[in-house]
Chain A
Amino acid sequence: MRTLSLSDVPKSEQLALFVGNTGENQRHVGLAYRPEPGAPLRYLHLAGHLDLCDEDELTGVPYRAALVNAVPQPFHSTVVAHCRRSASADLDPQHVEYGLGYLRATISRDGADRLVVEGNSSGFTCATFVLAIFALADLRLLATDSWVDRDGDAEWKATVVERLSRRLPLDGDRATKLRADRDLARIRPEDVAGGATCSAAPVGYAEATIAGVEVLGELTGAT
């Protein structure tokens, strides 16, 4: 099994990912972390545009946990530190935008500790937000340069752009970035969760997507 129940995540594990089926052709992924050793898990995830959440429980759908085997455990506490910093600095005011593009090298924090996306990226998805948190610790979870779109990804991206267009005034710079980012390959939530369970980061496309399919199967079995 690639995944386990959230309640079965060992107390010794300070970091994991959580993943779940949230709708047709829609999954969701985020970070499950213990702020202190042995403390209950907290859940940091980008739920939507300007909707970063840091919660003590997850509701709605049955989520499962994926242990982060691809990154050696001594690094996990640094990732947890970044989860805590985002939980503190990036929620109020909400400023993390939803977008299709992700360029790892442009993630940093400003002087007020807020997540900053430099360059022309339009923002994050739930999946790429997880990758960004790892990137802040200079840990490359997936070899994202090797990703390609699969069946359904173009339609999914079109749906996202349409939904954002209806919700927000898409003008000028933001619209340009979103349109440009539709050309970037989609990194699916199960890619991130499955990739995390592999043996060594950065996990390549083939290995991560195969693991992601297994994760999907386990999610289907859990619902």
Chain B
Amino acid sequence: MSQLGIPNVVSRGTLAQPVSLVQAQPRPYVRRVTPAEGTTVAVATYDERPADKSTLPPQWLIKLGSLPPSQRGDALLMLTRRHLLDLLSLSTGDSEALGEACADSLSASMTLAKAAAQTDPAHPAWLSAFVRGFLKKSPHGSVFVRATSPWLRRALVVDIGVEGLTESEKLRVLETLVASGDTRAMDLLERSLLEFERPSSALSNAIARLRVAGAAGVLVLCRDGKIQAAVNLTVGMMETMRATGAVEALDRTLASLDARALPIEVVLAFLTSAKRVASDRPGYQKLIASLEATMLEQRRADASAILSFLR
């Protein structure tokens, strides 16, 4: 194998050693990555994107494994800036294998995922598959998910569904999302997780933590003045609990709230979402009473009109 350079890449690089390239047999466009080969990643590289795929130049293989982990991100960065469209043409299966191949290099994976998201965020399937592959193999999973963009996290959790990661891997992602405070992603993930048949007690506990985190997330959003976001989260959380028959948990959530401490829009979001299933329950009645007292103190002119919708 000869040392081959990518024109205008190595010369701009900051690598301590040259990137070792291997000229592969000519194959149509993209070669499937085989994780058994370690961190070998296949990309198609050329200066001009050819119109006819049958005339593609030979592919180049880049052995990330020949580089120290701290430099793998740089290597990928140099490639992705010029050749990202080629990487994005990988099938989701190849993307997942690419993610697995990058599993031991958090920086490489972050670089690739962020560059892809910035360049073409319309490829959620590619990114989701990449991250799924990464999370399967990487000990850095939690950090990676926490550090990526909200858009990527949401694309990831929508795509996880009931396939892909194992239950323990999904739990790890879930806990990371709870810690990150990305409430919309949590909302989506809870819904996808609840599609499991008879989830394990560990998963059920995680979902319970999510609900608590969801309620906490509402309070955080209210504190930050993001009222519509708090309402959106409230509706989502309550709808999920209602759809899954978790009426007791729903009512306990209402009982824990103080209408004086919340914007009225958020209180009403809780109550309207719960009314159909919990209007005769103690938590609902308690929150109604709290709301009534608050509106009385505030001398709201629309108090009776509001209460007429809730009783």
**What residues of chain A have their CB less than 8 Å away from a CB belonging to chain B?**
14, 35-37, 71-75, 77-78, 80-82, 84-85, 108-113, 137-139, 200-201
Contact = CB atoms under 8 A, between A and B. Distances in A.
Nearest to A82: B235
Given A74-B264, A74-B306, A109-B239, A137 B272 contact: yes
B228 A80 contact: yes
6 contacts: A14-B228, A78-B268, A81-B235, A85-B236, A139-B272, A200-B305
A75 B191 contact: no
B265 A78 contact: yes
B236 A75 contact: no
Interface string B226-261: 011001101110011001100000000000000000
B272 to A, nearest CB: 5
Contacts of B275: 138
Contacts, number: 72
Given A138-B275, A138-B276, A78 B191 contact: no
Given A72-B302, A78-B235, A113-B191, 15 more contacts: A35-B228, A71-B309, A73-B302, A74-B302, A75-B265, A75-B306, A78-B273, A81-B228, A81-B231, A81-B269, A85-B235, A111-B194, A111-B243, A138-B272, A138-B309
A92 to B, nearest CB: 12
B294 to A, nearest CB: 12
B228 A36 contact: yes
B120 interface: no
A74 B271 CA distance: 12
B244 A111 contact: yes
B265 A77 contact: yes
A140 B307 CA distance: 13
A36 B268 CA distance: 18
A74 B265 contact: yes
Nearest to A81: B235
A199 B308 CA distance: 13
Contacts of B232: 81, 84
Interface of B: 191, 194-195, 227-228, 231-232, 234-236, 239-240, 243-244, 264-265, 268-269, 272-273, 275-276, 302, 305-306, 308-309
Contacts of A137: 272-273
Contacts of B234: 81
Contacts of A73: 302
B278 to A, nearest CB: 11
Contacts of B236: 81, 85
A155 to B, nearest CB: 36
Contacts of B272: 75, 78, 137-139
A77 B306 contact: no
B284 to A, nearest CB: 12
Contacts of B195: 111
A81 B233 CA distance: 9
Question: By CB atoms of chain B within 10 A, which of A75, A80, A139 has the most?
Answer: A75
Nearest to A107: B276
B191 A37 contact: no
A72 B301 CA distance: 10
Contact of B191 (A14, A82, A112): A112
Contacts of A71: 309
Contacts of B305: 72, 200
Question: By CB atoms of chain B within 10 A, which of A37, A78, A82 has the most?
Answer: A78
Nearest to A14: B228
B309 A77 contact: no
Contacts of B268: 74-75, 78
Given A75-B309, A81-B235, A138-B275, A110 B265 contact: no
The 4 A-B pairs at the shortest CB distance, nearest first, are namely A81-B235, A77-B265, A77-B231, A72-B302
B310 to A, nearest CB: 8
